[in-house]
Structure 1
Amino acid sequence: MASNERRSDLLKFHRPKLRLPSGNKVELTTTLSPESKQCIKNLAGYKPPRLPLRVPKSRTAAVLVALFVGRKGDLYVLLSRRATTLRTYAGDTSLPGGKWEQGDRGVEWTARREAYEEIGLPLDRQKVPLLCILEPFLAATQVIVTPVVVLVLDNTIRPLLNSQEVTSVFSHPLASFLSDESPFPQDTETLEVRYHTYNDMKWTGLDGDFRMHRFLTGREAGGTKPIFGLTASILIRVAMVGYARDPEFKVSAPDQLSQPERIAHMLKHHPTFREAAIKEGINPDKTPDMSQLQRRRRDDRRRRKDSQVKQTKLIDPRLRVRAKL
């Protein structure tokens, strides 16, 4: 984490030097493609299902999925290359983010604070407004990670890297996380390397396989690692919500547990989560069985749908077509 002196330098750096338009709003000057416009609308309107679990804050983290509009109106996501001196995920390609700290006002603040400290992204919500907060993901480090999706409106922002945590930043087209095809020209040395691959592997303490995705960045020759693991899973989900379509590949392994099921199981059985929960006054043994809850929700949805169908049959025949619409 950045020191107090570091934070002071960043605050000084980001004091407004720009003359903002009337109403103190930064307008998007780049023309959006129709697909990008719909993607932003879909993300802005997304409401994640509530996770009916009590989670120890000390085992939570947040990452910032910072989107911006490219020259051709397409959406890109900012990614960083972690410093090789870090204790975890050294040198990996990742999203800016980190663990919850005392004083954080919520997951959005955690993600924004971390991005501010790592790459100098301003905390100003008018320059970088919130689009949505996605459902949480379970990380291999026994941390529950929540993605926070924002849109960078001010194209004059330049990265200010914390060299102790980040060595470089770059961008990647968001839509490419739904595709098996490479979004960039490949040189002759990498033509035989597939842009997207995956492996089904075991997760310690959980039943079934878990699918780990991997996407090339096009910068591997310069030492940048592919996008893989948790980062890849999060970006696939963001793209699915935004573009409202499934990828060209299967996201999950055939017997893979859902994220809520995995989180609930670990909260109830993993010693790290249990210890953290007890310290925060949470009884881990009262963690609900997510598979039962999800089956109950599916049954409720099915009953509501059947009820709606019955009601439609009772409507005057002349109005049935309108009711179906």
Structure 2
Amino acid sequence: MSTRKSGIPTLLELHKPRRVARTALVVPFKESSRQCLKRLAEYEPPATPPYPRSQSAAVLVALFVGRWGDIYVLLSRRSASLSSYAGDTALPGGRVDKEDATLEETAIGLPRDKRRVPLLCILPPFLARSHLIVTPVVVLITDPTLRPILNAPEVDTLFSHPLASFLHDRAPFPLPSASPFLPDTALDDVANAAPSQFHEQDEKYAGPPPPRINPTQYHTFHDMEWGPTKVRIHSFLTGRESSGTKPIAGLTASILLEVAQIGYGTAPEGFEVDAPGQAGRRERIAWEMNRAPRFIEALNREEIHWDWKREERREREKRLRASGEPVKGDKRYKSRL
């Protein structure tokens, strides 16, 4: 596998085997899966401000239809030998290079074959704790003969997870159960497989450590201070924790939660996605653009002239109005004086 000139290896490439079986399994296409892909293909993201290219990245949300007609997403487990984020569960992708003509090229690591890997949609950017603006690129793998090529130094394994399972707090696989006949340490290997926080590189913004993973609970979350408000951090078990694979958590979980909500046209059952009063991504990004030295330097270096203070104020006022709180300048605000 090739390494990107930015120094960040591509995590996934696809190739077509020379020999193809003459008989192919006919996949039963569920109506819910058909509607999910239709909604994703019809999704149009809102216009976004100009973000600094040097602080931008893209990740690939590669979907495919499983043998029983359900939609799955392709995930990678980072190599256990890496010095940072070893064993983390992540989406393939990397930072934007100068040579990248499109975000699809950044996410997949090579020009996309539009026939075999059609683009479904591009989501609005997410904010990573490492001060990167991360754009998810959602594609559908339609050719069953495509096989992933692992970048062995970076990735131990590739595996899949059902997309619909991000909308429930019940596991799509059997969970280990606490038993009075098992010692207290029986599940420690699973419980200690806590995810790294957003691939953090700046201790100043590191925040509290993630809570201990409950190996008998598929979905967990905790709220942490980040920017103008608290932010909800989600974690989903993969069913592979006993072998060292970490849960789907943080940024990866947030991205897949949004893909699932758009695709299936519904909110999750059993839990709220956001913390109470949580600021939207656009407000949080503007908040960081106004304060984080790394973003400020990149904006000046790339000569991006955008009124981020106005952007932050506008998004904050939208959030306050939506929650029923008074906003300075409104009649309700003046009536309270």
Report 1:287-302 matches (<5 A): 288-292=310-314
Q: In structure 2, what residue type is equivalent to 1:41?
A: K
Whether the 8 Å CA contact 2:228–2:284 is kept in 1: the answer is no
Aligned to 1:158: 147
Q: In structure 1, what residue type is equivalent to 2:289?
A: L
How well do the aligned residues superpose, as a CA RMSD in angstroms? 3.0
Aligned pair count? 279
Alignment partner of 1:99 is 2:95: yes
Aligned to 2:44: 47
Given the alignment, which residue of 121, 124, 130 partners 1:132?
Answer: 121
Distance in 2, matches of 1:80 and 1:134, equals 20
Aligned to 1:234: 255
Instruction: Give the TM-score normalised by the residue count of structure 2.
Output: 0.75
Alignment partner of 1:36 is 2:30: no
Aligned to 1:267: 289
Distance in 1, matches of 2:26 and 2:312, equals 45
Given the alignment, which residue of 212, 216, 228 partners 1:193?
Answer: 216
Shift of 1:90: 2.6
Distance in 2, matches of 1:28 and 1:54, equals 45
Distance in 2, matches of 1:215 and 1:297, equals 28
Distance in 1, matches of 2:305 and 2:139, equals 34
Alignment partner of 1:180 is 2:138: no
Write out per-residue CA displacement over residues 109-139 of structure 1, whole angstroms, 9 at most, x where no aligned residue: 21121xx6xxxxx832211111000111000
Q: In structure 2, what residue type is equivalent to 1:259?
A: R
Shift of 1:15: 6.7
Shift of 1:87: 5.0
Whether the 8 Å CA contact 2:15–2:148 is kept in 1: the answer is no
Q: In structure 2, what residue type is equivalent to 1:170?
A: F
* SS in structure 1 of the partner of residue 259 of structure 2: helix
Aligned pair in 2 of structure 1 residues 162, 134: CA closer, same or farther (>3 Å)? same
Aligned to 1:302: none
Report 1:135-150 matches (<5 A): 135-150=124-139
Aligned to 1:277: 299
Write out per-residue CA displacement over residues 198-241 of structure 1, whole angstroms, 9 at most, x where no aligned residue: 000112xx122110000000011111100000000000000000
Whether the 8 Å CA contact 2:75–2:160 is kept in 1: the answer is yes
Distance in 1, matches of 2:148 and 2:82, equals 20
Aligned to 2:2: 2
Report 1:87-126 matches (<5 A): 87-113=83-109, 123-126=112-115
Whether the 8 Å CA contact 1:80–1:166 is kept in 2: the answer is yes
Aligned to 2:246: 225
Percent identical across equivalent pairs? 51
* SS in structure 1 of the partner of residue 149 of structure 2: coil
Distance in 1, matches of 2:60 and 2:266, equals 22
Distance in 2, matches of 1:256 and 1:298, equals 10
Looking at secondary structure, tell me which structure has more helix per residue: 1
Alignment partner of 1:168 is 2:164: no
Aligned pair in 2 of structure 1 residues 29, 128: CA closer, same or farther (>3 Å)? farther
Distance in 2, matches of 1:201 and 1:107, equals 30
Distance in 2, matches of 1:186 and 1:98, equals 33
Distance in 1, matches of 2:127 and 2:276, equals 18
Distance in 1, matches of 2:92 and 2:275, equals 27
Whether the 8 Å CA contact 2:290–2:296 is kept in 1: the answer is yes
Whether the 8 Å CA contact 1:81–1:167 is kept in 2: the answer is yes
Aligned pair in 2 of structure 1 residues 286, 234: CA closer, same or farther (>3 Å)? closer
In structure 2, list runs of 5 or more residues that go unmatched: 179-186, 188-213, 322-337
Aligned pair in 2 of structure 1 residues 110, 102: CA closer, same or farther (>3 Å)? same
Whether the 8 Å CA contact 2:15–2:146 is kept in 1: the answer is no
Distance in 1, matches of 2:116 and 2:264, equals 23
* SS in structure 1 of the partner of residue 166 of structure 2: helix
Alignment partner of 1:245 is 2:234: no
Shift of 1:273: 0.2
Aligned to 1:310: none
Whether the 8 Å CA contact 1:80–1:167 is kept in 2: the answer is yes
Aligned pair in 2 of structure 1 residues 60, 28: CA closer, same or farther (>3 Å)? farther
Q: In structure 2, what residue type is equivalent to 1:72?
A: W
Given the alignment, which residue of 51, 76, 79 partners 1:80?
Answer: 76
Q: In structure 2, what residue type is equivalent to 1:58?
A: S
* SS in structure 2 of the partner of residue 266 of structure 1: helix
Whether the 8 Å CA contact 1:278–1:284 is kept in 2: the answer is no
Distance in 1, matches of 2:282 and 2:230, equals 15
Shift of 1:294: 7.3
Shift of 1:18: 6.7
* SS in structure 2 of the partner of residue 77 of structure 1: strand
Deviates most, 289-298 or 254-263: 289-298
